[in-house]
């Protein structure tokens, strides 16, 4: 890894050709834009006038991603960040797939989102630091998810590799650069965000060892090369898969201009200024080759030939004209880049394929082909490059059916037992609990809580279906985790399970848990369920279990449960002539069909109401909660009147 002492500043010395020379070259050179069929298309109408009526970039636009609810959300406090930069939250889509939401100082208008795939040994080696592979998206980058996780198997491919994968989300047509002006309601400042704001987040929160590879597809290939050339102190490896590695040869700025207009209606001159101006030369990869120094550089491109139907092809369907044309453009610029690098004495790994078009399946292939070079650059040993593991003993018996896929590592010691990671889950073993294979959302929740080192301990069963057929559960030494599609996965303590069980578990009044267990200020714990609250309160030197359900339970949840003004329950729900009530430490909640559920604290108003026969007296049921009076005092409304207390007088 190069030290920061070797930092290169962004250079502005890439001199443009003179206007006369450029015009002369344009007359004799092949118009690059013609490759795309764009030379005669007015830019303002490029989107609607492309052959077939479709956008040029439709061929590689990522599909709409599947809706994935996070299994957990954390709110980390990250130290050492630049002023105005903060991590707002981290959503865990799985134990290893994170979405990090960042408040950016460079682009403050909206949260910036970065997906991270955690290294294989992230959990098994909690003190280890890891290299990073950055994967940049293409022109049609979506704002909700990286094209890499939508269109490729990057999550599965890197699951057994000891690197963190970093995927910025968004940046349609941005080239991940700092734009000169706002456009389409956005002022892109991606270069500043990535190099000055994201890097310290990765260093301080995600255990980076400061070895970094940056790769990208199409637009992202150009961006990867620009980032590496302009900030060589940050990166050890750069890869361009079908990137445009020439931004200033005759016709290239016009081609980029047309592509950006097509992919979202962006104005290229708001990015780097007028075409062929100095900033276009400052961002021309072929003019920054010397900046790569001893960095490992990998470039690839297809020929534009459609090889669909070839037995060795990775293509999933026939190519369209846009995919062919865009790849020809990439091939021309990549070939030019590689030849120039050779003339300048800079080593480049160049993979110019005999076939292939501008499409995700080819970029997935290049991802796998680049990996050995990335691993070599990082100096990774064989154990960190991929799975070389063996499954033995009791764990082998519970995973032999393939239910959680292939092993990612050998078993490792955790607490007083062992664990082993697989592509589809984790197997756990201890002398007391035996071996069990966990997977899916329950395993994800368990891992997020700390696995066997959490209060749950080791699993004592595998995953089972609940009697009502709706959910799934796993029992552990000190509790259980229950999951349904609508509630997610939540853990419940063993002692609270006893109270829940007396009421019929998920078939009883409470239904399924919807939130984690929470500590009560005065001792004990509580948990919100679909239809109420389960409370285990420490009272009179012992723990008492209570269920608060139905309308009273809903009111209690709205108030905040045992840590609210009501406190913990003192008994179960009691039926009344026209309703019900439940006693709590600091008052009661009353409910009737006509009045709804309301809390009445113990005190003067409660006493006056009681003196008049409670709900059976002249006031009837409460119809509001107790409220402050502006002039001082309290009041509460009832079906047949209002009771107030002011200056010590209750009436």
Lowest mean pLDDT among 302-316, 391-405, 568-582: 302-316
**Measured in Å, how far apart are the chain's first and last C-alpha atoms?**
79
**Coil, helix or strand at residue 27:** helix
Query: Is residue 595 assigned to a domain?
Result: no
Residue 596 resides in a domain = no
272 vs 17: CA distance, rounded Å: 16
Q: Cα separation of 100 and 201, whole Å? A: 10
**Tokens 């797939």 sit at which residue?**
97
- Count Cβ atoms within 10 A of the Cβ of residue 8 and give its class: 0-12 exposed, 13-18 middle, 19 or more buried: middle
Given 437, 460, 480, the domain boundary residue is 480
DSSP 69: -
Task: Assess if residue 590 is contained within a domain.
Answer: no
Helix (H, G, I), strand (E, B) or coil at 29: coil
Instruction: Name the 3-class secondary structure at 413.
Output: strand
Q: Is residue 594 part of a domain?
A: no
pLDDT at 7 > cutoff 70: no
pLDDT given at position 34: 43
Q: Give the Å distances, CA to CA, from 406 to 145, 155, 402.
A: 27, 15, 7
Mean pLDDT of 528-557: 94
Single residue among 383, 408, 438 that ends a domain in this structure: 383
Phi-psi region at 80: left, alpha or beta (left = phi > 0; alpha = psi -120 to 50): left
Whether residue 184 is found in the same domain as residue 316: yes
Please name the residue ranges forming H helices in 58-178.
147-151, 154-157
User: Which pLDDT belongs to residue 623?
Assistant: 98
Report d(CA 158, CA 117) in Å as an integer.
Answer: 8
Residue 225 lies in a domain: yes
- What is the token pair recorded at 611? 């003196």
Let me know whether 297 and 222 are in one domain: yes
Residues in CB range of 631: below 8 A, 6 or more apart:
646
Cα distance between residue 487 and residue 516, in whole Å: 11
pLDDT of residue 630: 87
Strand 574-575 to strand 542-549: parallel, antiparallel, or no bridges (unpaired)? unpaired
Rounded Cα–Cα distance for residues 271 and 257 (Å): 10
pLDDT band at residue 43 under the 50/70/90 scheme: very low
What's the pLDDT at 60? 59
Q: Do 626 and 599 touch, CB atoms closer than 8 A?
A: yes
Q: How far apart are CA 334 and CA 302, in angstroms?
A: 10
Q: Is the dihedral of CA 571, 481, 73, 121 positive or negative?
A: positive
Q: Is the dihedral of CA 256, 259, 260, 265 positive or negative?
A: positive
Question: Is 465 in the same domain as 325?
Answer: no
Contact between residue 373 and residue 297 where contact means Cβ atoms under 8 Å apart: no
Residue 15 pLDDT class (50, 70, 90 cuts): low
- Give the residue-averaged pLDDT of 444-458: 94
Segment 226-253 mean pLDDT: 97
The secondary structure of 75-103 as a DSSP string is -----SPPTT-EEEEEEESSSSEEEEEEE
Q: Report yes or no on 597 lying in a domain.
A: no
Quick one: CA dihedral 273, 279, 280, 283, positive or negative? negative
pLDDT reported for residue 57? 54
Longest pairwise C-alpha distance within the chain: 103
- Would you say residue 19 has pLDDT above 80? no
Report how far residue 363's alpha carbon sits from residue 418's, in angstroms, rounded to the nearest whole number: 38
Q: What is the pLDDT of residue 352?
A: 94
Contact 566, 589 (CB under 8 A): yes
Rounded Cα gap, residues 31 and 93, in angstroms:
46
Q: Are 235 and 225 in contact (CB under 8 A)?
A: no
Q: How confident is the model at residue 59 (pLDDT cuts 50, 70, 90)?
A: low
Q: Are residues 284 and 414 in the same domain?
A: no
pLDDT at 339 over 50: yes
Residue 423 tokens read as 């592509």
Q: Is the pLDDT of residue 271 over 90?
A: yes
| Residue % of the chain over a pLDDT of 90 | 77
Q: Which pTM was predicted?
A: 0.76
In-domain check, residue 360: yes
Query: How far apart are alpha carbons 314 and 360 in whole angstroms?
Result: 10
* Range with the poorest average pLDDT among 53-67, 331-345, 463-477, 592-606: 53-67
Which class for 20: exposed (0-12), middle (13-18), buried (19 or more C-beta within 10 A)?
exposed
Same structural domain, 569 and 540: yes
* Residue 452 backbone dihedrals phi, psi, to 5 degrees: -65, -20
Residue 36 pLDDT level (bands cut at 50, 70, 90): very low
Bridge partners of 490? 482
Answer yes or no: are the C-beta atoms of 496 and 534 closer than 8 Å.
Answer: yes
pLDDT for residue 49 is more than 70: no
The CATH number of residue 139's host domain is 3.40.50.1820
Residues 516 and 551 in one domain: yes
Q: Is pLDDT of 38 > 60? A: no
Same domain, yes or no, for 227 and 309?
Answer: yes
Does 180 lie in the same domain as 211? yes
Domain with 628, as residue range(s), is 603-651
Alpha carbon distance 395, 426 (integer Å): 10
Number of domains forming the structure of the chain: 4
Long-range interactions of 92-99: CB distance < 8 A, separation 24+: 92/444, 92/448, 93/68, 94/444, 95/71, 95/123, 95/443, 95/444, 95/447, 95/448, 96/122, 96/155, 96/159, 97/149, 97/155, 99/70, 99/169
At residue 453, the pLDDT reads 95
Integer CA distances (angstroms), 561 to 146, 337, 481, in order: 40, 65, 21
- Please list the active-site residues: 218, 327, 358
Question: What is the rounded distance in angstroms from the CA atom of residue 596 to the CA atom of residue 620?
Answer: 12
Q: Residue 619, CB half-sphere, CA atoms under 13 Å: how many? A: 23
pLDDT in tens, 130-170: 999 999 999 999 999 999 999 999 999 999 999 999 999 99
Same domain, 628 and 642: yes
Burial of 257 (0-12, 13-18, 19+ CB in 10 A): buried
Structure-token match 């057929």, residue found: 469
Say whether both 130 and 241 belong to one domain: yes
The last residue of one of the domains, among 451, 480, 509, is 480
Report the distance separating Cα 83 and Cα 390, nearest Å.
48
**Banded model confidence at residue 64, pLDDT cuts 50, 70, 90:** confident
How many C-beta neighbours within 10 Å does residue 64 have?
A: 10
pLDDT band (50, 70, 90) for residue 605: very high
Clarify whether residues 128 and 174 are in a common domain: yes
Residue 632 inside a domain? The answer is yes
Confidence of residue 55 (pLDDT cuts 50, 70, 90): low
**Cα Rg of the chain, angstroms:** 31
pLDDT, mean over the chain: 90
User: Do 547 and 528 fall into the same domain?
Assistant: yes
Q: 627 - beta bridge partners?
A: 635
């Amino acid at each position: 890894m190069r030290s920061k002492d070797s930092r290169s500043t962004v250079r502005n010395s890439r001199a443009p050709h003179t206007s006369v020379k450029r015009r002369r070259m344009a007359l004799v050179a092949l118009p690059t834009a013609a490759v795309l069929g764009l030379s005669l298309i007015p830019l303002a109408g490029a989107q609607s006038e492309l052959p077939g009526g479709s956008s040029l970039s439709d061929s590689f636009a990522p599909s709409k991603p599947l809706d994935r609810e996070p299994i957990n959300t954390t709110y980390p406090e990250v130290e050492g960040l630049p002023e105005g930069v903060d991590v707002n939250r981290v959503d865990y889509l799985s134990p290893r797939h994170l979405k990090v939401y960042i408040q950016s100082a460079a682009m403050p208008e909206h949260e910036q989102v970065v997906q991270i795939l955690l290294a294989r040994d992230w959990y098994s080696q909690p003190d280890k630091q890891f290299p990073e592979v950055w994967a940049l998206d293409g022109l049609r980058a979506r704002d909700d998810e990286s094209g890499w996780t939508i269109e490729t198997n990057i999550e599965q491919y890197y699951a057994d590799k000891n690197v963190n994968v970093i995927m910025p989300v968004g940046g349609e047509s941005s080239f991940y650069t700092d734009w000169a002006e706002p456009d389409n309601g956005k002022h892109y400042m991606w270069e500043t965000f990535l190099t000055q704001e994201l890097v310290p987040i990765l260093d301080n929160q995600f255990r980076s060892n400061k070895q970094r590879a940056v790769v990208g597809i199409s637009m992202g290939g150009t961006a990867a090369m620009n980032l590496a050339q302009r900030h060589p102190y940050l990166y050890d490896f750069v890869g361009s898969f079908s990137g445009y590695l020439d931004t200033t040869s005759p016709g290239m700025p016009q081609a980029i201009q047309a592509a950006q207009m097509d992919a979202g209606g962006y104005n290229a001159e708001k990015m780097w200024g007028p075409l062929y101006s100095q900033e276009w030369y400052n961002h021309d990869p072929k003019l920054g080759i010397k900046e790569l120094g001893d960095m490992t550089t990998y470039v690839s491109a297809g020929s534009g030939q459609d090889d669909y139907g070839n037995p060795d092809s990775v293509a999933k369907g026939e190519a369209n004209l846009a995919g062919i044309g865009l790849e020809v453009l990439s091939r021309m610029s990549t070939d030019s880049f590689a030849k120039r690098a050779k003339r300048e004495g800079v080593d480049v790994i160049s993979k110019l394929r005999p076939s292939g078009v501008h499409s995700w399946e080819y970029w997935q292939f290049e991802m796998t082909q680049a990996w050995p070079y990335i691993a070599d650059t990082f100096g990774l040993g064989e154990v960190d490059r991929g799975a070389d593991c063996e499954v033995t003993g009791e764990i082998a018996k519970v995973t032999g059916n393939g239910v959680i896929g292939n092993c990612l590592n050998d078993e490792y010691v955790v607490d007083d037992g062992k664990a082993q990671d697989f592509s589809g889950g984790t197997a756990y073993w201890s002398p007391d609990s035996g071996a069990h294979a966990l997977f899916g959302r329950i395993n994800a929740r368990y891992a997020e809580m700390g696995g066997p080192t959490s209060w749950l301990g080791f699993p004592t069963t595998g995953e089972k279906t609940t009697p009502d057929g709706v959910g799934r559960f796993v029992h552990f030494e000190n509790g259980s985790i229950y999951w349904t599609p609508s509630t997610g996965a939540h853990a419940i303590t063993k002692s609270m399970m006893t109270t829940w069980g007396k009421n019929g578990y998920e078939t009883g009044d409470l239904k399924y848990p919807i939130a984690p267990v929470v500590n009560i200020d005065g001792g004990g714990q509580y948990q919100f369920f679909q239809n109420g609250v389960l409370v285990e309160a420490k009272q009179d030197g012992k723990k008492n279990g209570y269920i608060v359900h139905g309308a009273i339970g809903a009111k209690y949840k709205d108030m905040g449960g045992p840590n609210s003004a009501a406190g913990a329950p003192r008994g179960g729900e009691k039926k009344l002539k026209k309703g019900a009530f439940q006693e709590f430490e600091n008052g009661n909640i009353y409910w009737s069909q006509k009045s709804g559920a309301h809390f009445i604290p113990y005190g003067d108003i409660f006493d006056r109401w009681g003196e008049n026969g409670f709900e059976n007296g002249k006031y009837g049921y409460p119809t509001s909660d107790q409220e402050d009076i502006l002039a001082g005092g309290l009041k509460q409304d009832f079906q047949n009147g209002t009771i107030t207390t002011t200056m010590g007088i209750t009436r």
